[in-house]
Structure formats: C-alpha cells, structure tokens
Structure 1
C-alpha cells in the first residue's frame, strides 16, 4: 500500500516539475512548484521523517510560495513585465 503511494507521489512530483518548467504563465509555475513541494511533504512523512516534512511544509510550501506570489503581484503593479 505504501509503495503505491510512494510511486504515485513521485510520479506526480515529476509531472508538476515538468509543468512548472514548461508553463507560460509565471503564476501557474508557482502553483505547480507549490504542489510539488506539498507532495515532497507526503514523501517525507512516508519515509518516517516528520520533522523534515513539517519544515518543508512551512518553509517550502508556505513561505516560498507566499514570497513568489507577493513578488509577482508587485511586478504586475509596477508594469515591469514584458
């Protein structure tokens, strides 16, 4: 059962990484990276490393995504996008 979840999480992480790279819109790339980070939290929990999983959830999924979104909104306000 756990092996199936590991395989699915790994495949989805790979899919979201490819989508983040290939996406034309920056906000979609940020969303895909956040989803990939959340799946890595699941992987860490499965590997019995809950402390690393919690850290990844707070820093990787939460704070980094928040900073990327704030940066994108600030860029759009100033009109520096090309």
Structure 2
C-alpha cells in the first residue's frame, strides 16, 4: 500500500513538473509551480520527511510563486507609458 502511494506521488510530481515547463505564460507558470510545490510537499511527507515537506510547502508553494508574480507585475508595469498612452 505504501509503495502505491509513493508511485502515485511520483507520477503527480512528474505531471505537474511537465505542466510547469510546458506553460509559456509566466503567470500561469507561477500557478502551476505553486501546485508543484504542494505535490512535492506531499511526496516528502509520504517519504517520511515532514520537516522537508513543511519547508517545501512554505518556499515552493507560497514564496517562490509570489515572487514570480510580483516580478511579472513589475515588468508589465515598467513596459507601460508613464503618461497613460497620451
């Protein structure tokens, strides 16, 4: 039973990692990266490393996608004219 849970977790990691790489839009990529962080946290917990899973949950699922979204927003804002296009 435990082996089946590990195999399913590994398959979910492979699918979400492939989806993160296949996305071209940075905003969607950040969202998929957040899901990948969550799936990795589950995998680490299944592999009996809950401390690593909690770290992955904090950094991989929350902090990194947030920083990517803020960077994308800043780059998009920098590309707009300051006078509103007039």
Structure 2, unmatched stretches of 5+, are 81-86
What secondary structure is seen at the aligned counterpart in 2 of 1:41?
helix
- Residue 36 of structure 2 corresponds to which residue in structure 1? 36
Higher gyration radius (CA): 2
- TM-score, normalisation: structure 1: 0.84
Higher helix share: 1
Structure 1, unmatched stretches of 5+, are none
The 1-side partners of 2:42 and 2:70 are apart by 26
- TM-score, normalisation: structure 2: 0.81
- Figure out how many residues of one structure are paired with residues of the other and give that number: 80
Alignment of 1:66-81 (within 5 A): 66-79=66-79
- My pick for the range that moved more, 3-12 or 66-75, is 3-12
- Residue 5 of structure 1 corresponds to which residue in structure 2? 5
Aligned-pair RMSD on alpha carbons?
Answer: 1.5
After superposition, give the CA deviation of every residue in 1:4-45 in whole Å (9 maximum; x if it has no partner). Answer: 222222112111111111112111111111111111100111
